[in-house]
Structure 1
Amino acid sequence: MLFVAIDELVRDADSLGVEMDVVVDEDDDMTSIWLASIERTGGRAGAGGVVLERLMEICSEHDVIIEGAIEPPNRRLEEYYTLHGFDIERHGHRTIITRTP
């Protein structure tokens, strides 16, 4: 069911003008999603936020952690993700974002 919801979200994102790349990592103990990229390439302002909100809803429904990276570091994006409940950790020139349901 998680895979179906993610596939539908990626298709919906594309129709909103948002390119999104996610990888589902299933482990024996935990399932997580690596948010490789999310970018509004067209569509209306705020479309990326709509897609991110839906991803967070799906992950909460399925008890899935969202992880990703901000490269290069970007304070504005760090603040944005913090406002959406993500934890921020800096590792050199890489910023890791994590959101636990």
Structure 2
Amino acid sequence: MKLSRRDGIFLVIILALITVLVLNRGSEQGKPLPADDAHRPFSEALARGADRETTEQGCVRCHATAARPLPPGHPPKEQCLFCHRPAPATR
């Protein structure tokens, strides 16, 4: 089976698109959730199977204040754990 020029161009475009998607995978990932005393309860709750949305309410309690503001241009703070992966729970 011989590919036409049009099929070849289509194949090259598809392969280029797949390559770009694979190389950019995870590039928007935020910093990991810090493994400090302030964040450890949230990592442990998630490890126990707590609901992500309920756990994120704890993020808003601290980061909605002027004491720990989010950087300019930060995405909505209601979706913290989409980007910030929790640290492994330690015992």
TM-score, normalised to structure 1, is 0.22
Q: Which has the higher strand share?
A: 1
TM-score, normalised to structure 2, is 0.23
Q: Which has the higher helix share?
A: 2
Structure 1 or 2, whichever has the larger Rg, is 2
